[in-house]
Structure 1
Amino acid sequence: MFALKGFWSSERGNFAMATVVATLPMILGVAGAIDLVGTSHDAAQLQNSLDAAGLAIGTKFSPDMTADDVRQFGLQFFAANMSAADPQEYSGSVSAFAATASGSPSAYFISLSSSISRPSFIGDSAPWQAYRTASVKIKPGAQACVLALDPHASAAVSLQGSTNVSMDSCVIAANSDASDAVNRGGSALVSAGCVSTVGGTSGLLPPSASLTCGTPHEHQYASFDPLADVIPPPYTLCLPVPNGKTYTLSPGTYCDKTLSGNITLNPGVYIMRGTTIKPGGNGSLTGQGVTIFLMESAQIYINANETVNLSPPTSGTYAGITIFQDHGNTSALTLNGGANSVLSGFIYAPDAPISYAGNSDMSGQGDCLRLVGMTVQMTGNSSVKSDCAAALGNRAMYADRMITLVK
């Protein structure tokens, strides 16, 4: 009897052991499937968050952003997306987030990557890892001739009075989100390739406005600051200014003076430290192949009875740049020259208003002029052309931006 019981007991034990051995692969397979499904879900969320962060960076990217700026900005959106999915599940499991920028004004690329770790369902097994990447391409839109950088100003670009502005296929752009970021009023007439704004526009209906694109492109992404990465040259010793009302200056640094009269600049780079250039009366400012840096509150004031005739160098570090007002310099830049004035190249005042009164012959070919200011006001007649690669040393400015995920 006891032998029989032992026999049955042994049989059951063998059967149980056999069952465990037989089902172990199945158990491991199910556990592996759970790990695989869970890791796939985590990886998908990781990819979505990287894509979202890349697109977010794309809307705000500027060439002057540091590597840390790019990473930190992207990390905010990446972390927010991961947290929104499941803050507890993903806390501490995501690592190695990276976001870098590369490229040139013709196209910038944002590259992102990160990894996620999921504890294995099987005991002490190594955690499952997933690594994902994302790439975003930022391509500029059409060429622009006028750009206002202020993010909120009303009438950031203002076309008023009897102004007649012809942009020859160029775009007028404003980064302002105001409802009238570009404003045309009075009897002003404007013809351009298009108008592109972050906000809205006012007064840009036919027949006062003729746009090749048909209607203004409103509520677009912000346009790139074309000179954001330009670094002014170092100061040199302050040079003396000759006596008299008619004189010629050589390249170099000039300090704490008011320059008036008939001023001629030899070709080269000029650094104005706290200097005011104000010809006065029937004075003039003339220089071909020059770049003028306005530093430490330096300013240029050209009135209607004065003449300005300036052009930029076509090669070298500052090719295409005629006037560069340093960041932080809020002095108004006034270029209201008389009928014989000719101005070409980049006129740049990122933190100051620009007032420009063009007096171009509207039947002519126009000037290779690019106006970039905190705000821009245009009066008088201006003819500006877009085909200026040679005159601007291949330096260009674009409106809006196109952002795409690159797979």
Structure 2
Amino acid sequence: MICLDMKRRLNMMSRLETKIFKTKQIIRGLTSDRSGNFGIMAAVMAPVLLVAAGGAVDMSHAFAKKQELQEKMDAAVLAAVLKSDAKSQRQEVENFMGAFLPEDTKDGQTVEMSSAAVLTVSNNPDGSVTGTFADKFKPSFLGLAGLNELNISVSSTAIADKADTGGPCIYVMGKQSQAVLINSGANVKATKCGVDVHSTSNPAFIMNSGSTINTMRFCVKGTNYIKNGGTLTNLEVGCAAADNPYAGKLSEPTVSSICTTSGTRDGQTQVMKSGVHCATTFNGSPKITFEPGLHIIKGRMIINSGATVVAEGVTFYFPDVNSEIRANGGLTFTATAPTSGTYKGILMFENTSNASNSNNKQQYIFNGSKGEQLEGIIHLPNRDVVYNSTTNQSNKISMVVNSMIINSANWQLEPYGSAGSSGTVGSVRLVR
């Protein structure tokens, strides 16, 4: 719609037409007795009549330009919402609106294109993209009446609906041979998500008899594998394995040189405050409660057989590849990620900014447990994860690892957050 400023100018035009009508009445009165004055009055009124007629033409052109801008902006945001980052979305909108922008357009969220035109592109919390363009229309005739410009603005918002096509709960990023090894006794069920394997080596994975992997999809980028038996549902080879969705996006904390806890801890009840835990070992079979917050595990934390661990609203961070939580078996473990704050949704993650970690990948071992319930993002791309003995797990996770060995596990998997959707776009639409 033409903005309020333009409406005020339309009201001025209406008042101008009223004055013209009254002037005509005066002219009729004058010319009834003084027909010689008609030429003089006509000459006086000519500019006024020209402005009235020309103003209608100006308004028609202004509406036509607004309609053109609106159509371009609608198309621009529909294309932009398919892009994955703000910079690309901005560039896509500029590509569509290029005819209305000067040559010196700069990247940014809000940029004044000239003294008149302004383009804004913004990301909304629901994933939609809004584009707004404001410009000034210079009329040809209304300038005679003091209306030198008319403000025009358009706005559009588009959103992309995601198609649930069985994306990964587990991302195996390693390119090496045998990136996944499934041994006898493995029993994994994930009907709402799957496993994506990036290896193209020969073989990319090996599956042995006596195992069952029932996932929504088992996507392997390579085409060579060894299957010695067992049941594997929804296998796809040569498929487009999903990229690591968290690469470079997790904020790594500064690790204090002061240890909050360290060494051996005795006692059947242990309460762990957030902080740095250095090479800590728990004797006996205690109940260990991690208070909500960030817990930095520096070195190996050893939890003996039979212990119970409760960690609700907790994030575990490993500053190097030699740091881990190692349970010796018979563990009962319940852990959930924070629901707000800097580490919202992150249950476990490691330092990936230090090249020495990525160049020195290490094992991360989950030993047998009575039951584990984990919920959150587990980002361990520098770890070769191993599940030993019988591990009973019910996880709602999105896990990234370098490689994986499943020796024996009863594992129920459900997607966490955006896991379970491959990110494939089902449709895009305008929402306003």
Normalising by the residue count of structure 2, what TM-score does the alignment of the two structures yield?
0.61
Deviations 1:242-299 (A, max 9, x none): 379x9875313454436487675512248345222367xxx64843213572343261
The superposition leaves residues 48-94 of structure 1 with CA deviations (integer Å, 9 ceiling, x where unpaired) of 223322221xx35xxxxxxxxx4x45323322443378755995354
* Structure 1 position 192, deviation (Å): 0.7
What's the CA shift for 1:44?
1.8
Letter in 2 for 1:357: Y
Say whether residues 1:274 and 2:295 are aligned partners: no
Separation (CA, whole Å) in 2 of partners of 1:40 and 1:292 = 51
Unmatched 5+ residue regions in structure 1?
A: 1-9, 61-69, 103-107, 389-393
Query: Which residue number in structure 2 is paired with residue 241 of structure 1?
Result: 263
Q: Does 1:76 align with 2:91?
A: yes
- 1:146 pairs with 2:173: no
Q: 1:349 touches 1:372 (CA, 8 Å); kept in 2? A: yes
1:185 equivalent in alignment to 2:206: yes
- Please show how residues 180-259 of structure 1 align to structure 2 within 5 Å: 183-185=204-206, 187=208, 190-195=213-218, 200=221, 202=223, 210-211=232-233, 215=236, 218-219=239-240, 225=246, 238-242=260-264, 249-252=270-273, 253-257=275-279, 259=281
Q: What's the CA shift string for 1:86-122, capped at 9, x where partnerless? A: 75599535425141332xxxxx332413123143242
Cα deviation for residue 194 of structure 1 reads 1.9
Question: Could you tell me which of 387, 398, 401 is aligned with 1:357?
Answer: 387
Report if aligned partners of 2:364, 2:383 keep a CA contact under 8 Å in 1: no
- State the Cα distance separating 1:36 from its structure 2 match: 2.5
Q: Is the 8 A contact 1:224 1:400 kept in 2?
A: no
Distance 1:54 1:156 in 2: 38
Q: Give secondary structure in 2 for the equivalent of 1:55.
A: coil
Question: Cα offset for 1:377?
Answer: 1.6
Change (3 A) 1:223 1:12: farther
Structural mapping, 1:115-126, within 5 Å: 115-122=133-140, 124=143, 125-126=148-149
Aligned partners of 1:265 and 1:288 also within 8 Å: yes
Contact 2:193–2:414 under 8 Å retained in 1: no
1:113–1:201 distance in 2 versus 1, CA, 3 Å: same
Change (3 A) 1:369 1:326: farther
- What's the counterpart of residue 79 of structure 2? 52
Deviation at 1:397, TM superposition (A): 3.9
Q: Secondary structure at the match of 2:82?
A: helix
Which runs of structure 2 are paired with 1:29-48 in the superposition (5 Å)? 29-48=56-75
Instruction: Report if the CA contact (8 A) 2:336-2:374 is conserved.
Output: no
Q: Residues 161-176 of structure 1: matches in 2 within 5 Å?
A: 162=183, 164-174=186-196
| Corresponding position of 1:293 | 316
Change (3 A) 1:341 1:237: same
SS in 1 for 2:334: coil
Aligned to 2:69, what secondary structure does the other structure show? helix
> How many equivalent pairs are there?
359
Deviation at 1:168, TM superposition (A): 3.4
Alignment of 1:313-324 (within 5 A): 313=335, 323-324=348-349
Q: 1:317 to 1:19 in 2, by over 3 A?
A: closer
1:334 aligns with 2:327: no
Matched, 1:377 2:404: yes
Is the aligned partner of 1:344 residue 2:362? no
Query: Equivalent residue of 2:295, what SS?
Result: strand
Please state whether the residue corresponding to 2:64 is helix, strand or coil: helix
Q: State the one-letter code of the partner of 2:407.
A: G
3-state SS of the aligned residue for 1:135? strand
CA–CA distance in structure 2, aligned partners of residues 342 and 221 of structure 1:
29
Identity %: 6
In the TM superposition, what are the counterparts of 1:125-136 in structure 2 within 5 Å? 125-136=148-159
**1:345 Cα offset (Å):** 0.8
Query: What amino acid is the match of 1:405?
Result: R
Q: TM-score, normalised by structure 1?
A: 0.64
State the SS of the aligned residue for 1:50. Answer: helix
Q: 1:222 to 1:275 in 2, by over 3 A?
A: closer
Runs of at least 5 residues in structure 2 that lack an aligned partner in the other structure:
1-36, 106-112
Larger Rg: 2
